[in-house]
Amino acid sequence: MTATPKAVNRLIEAFSRLPGIGPKTASRLTYYLLRSGKEEALELANALTELHQHTVLCSICCNISDQDPCSICADETRDHSTICVVEDPLDVLAIENTGRYRGVYHVLHGHISPLERIGPDELRIKELMRRLEGGQVQEVILATNPTLEGDATAMYLVRLIEPLGIKVTRLALGLPRGGDLEYADRITLAEALAGRREMH
């Protein structure tokens, strides 16, 4: 029985460290790249190399960008008096895809999680607080995830921001469109009731 080449094992291990990819998927990806030829493997290698060479963190909002400041922070047509605080860069994309938000963002790069040993100092909270010092910001929208960690992060930020006299809001939570009430859990239903609005 022949041993697996070291290069193959190394790539399987590298893929396995990525979130959501187990050993079987890592093996499938590795053998796909072996079969597909050198060009596709080199294209992937070049893309991975360029990922860090051609991206920066925006010095204002901490989002990942190819320029500093990022295109959103540099856009003078956006409402710079409203900051939407999110956990990850992917959250910015999700909100931008709605086409309904014209303010700016702040990316925390995570959430407070004592179990994972992630405290406020590991997040981009100091950078957010510096942005709020100038008096230009009128509203901070907390768009952290509806999880225990996301809620804890939001509550921590509320305690820091409210004394500054800035309006703090939270994204509405509740029932997904197209869902049946009978399948909604108790917490989701409670949030939907609390976040109800008047019909016009």
Beta strands of the chain (E only): which ranges? 56-57, 64-65, 79-86, 103-107, 139-142, 167-170
Compute the half-sphere exposure of residue 144: CA atoms within 13 Å on the CB side of its CA: 24
Question: Residue 143's closest CA among 89, 196, 193?
Answer: 89
What confidence score (pLDDT) does residue 177 get? 72
| Model confidence pLDDT, tens digit, residues 65-76 | 999 999 999 999
Of 21-30, 59-68, 166-175, which range is least confident?
A: 166-175
Let me know if domain 6-53 sits in CATH 3.30.565.10: no
Assign 3-state DSSP to the chain and report helix, strand, coil percentages, each to 5: 50, 15, 40
Average pLDDT over residues 127-149: 93
Percent of the chain's residues with pLDDT above 70: 96
**Distance in angstroms (rounded) separating the CA atoms of residues 127 and 144:** 17
What confidence score (pLDDT) does residue 185 get? 79
Quickly name the fold that domain 76-170 has. Dna Topoisomerase Vi A Subunit; Chain: A, domain 2 (3.40.1360)
* Chain position carrying tokens 């997904």: 176
Distances (CA, A) of 78 to 32, 74, 85, 142, 144: 44, 9, 15, 18, 21
> Which band of pLDDT confidence, cut at 50, 70 and 90, is reported for residue 133?
very high
Instruction: Map out the domains of the chain as residue ranges.
Output: 6-53, 76-170
| Model confidence pLDDT, tens digit, residues 1-24 | 457 899 999 999 999 999 999 999
Question: Residue 59's closest CA among 13, 12, 124?
Answer: 124
Domains 6-53 and 76-170 agree in fold: no
